[in-house]
Amino acid sequence: MSAPGARFPRAARLTKPSHFAAVFAARQKLCGRFFCVHWRENGLPHARLGLVVAKRVAKRAVRRNWLKRQIREIFRVWPGRSVGVDLVVRVTRPTHDATRRMLRAELEVLFARLLMRLLHSEPAARPCTVDSRG
């Protein structure tokens, strides 16, 4: 059993297809080589996370589940968890040639860039932007 602060509570998850659809409809994303982070304000006092890891990018369930665990762990320690935003992290390409360190570094950079955007823009003035760098 893990420590209470180390858990990934249900309140921190996106669980309904309508929540995922709303995040994708917002059309705000940051992309890297392996991941795209989509986001939308949620009006809550905390962030929620949804994960998309398709069979196309990781054929074996073991790999898909491993990727999800890595993403959840990075989100768990992310300082932006107190920002009211829904996130969907989508794995965009096969990761078999990437190391754990490479994947973690990319996701940490994307989360840091996202936090900078969220903290340095006014809530009413946040534009619907698409960043296709990667």
The CA distance from 19 to 52, in Å, is 13
Query: How large is the average pLDDT for residues 83-96?
Result: 92
pLDDT classification of 11: cutoffs 50, 70, 90: confident
From 38, 44, 49, 96, select the one nearest 74 (Cα to Cα).
Answer: 49
Asked if residue 42 is part of any domain, the answer here is yes
**Pairing relationship of beta strands 48-52 and 85-91 according to DSSP bridges:** parallel
pLDDT of residue 129: 45
Asked if residue 134 is part of any domain, the answer here is no
pLDDT classification of 4: cutoffs 50, 70, 90: low
Asked if residue 62 is part of any domain, the answer here is yes
Asked if residue 3 is part of any domain, the answer here is no
Asked if residue 64 is part of any domain, the answer here is yes
Asked if residue 46 is part of any domain, the answer here is yes
Q: How many domains does the chain have?
A: 1
Which CATH number characterizes residue 104's domain? 3.30.230.10
Query: How large is the average pLDDT for residues 56-63?
Result: 93
pLDDT digits (tens, 9 = 90+) for 14-29: 989 999 999 999 999 9
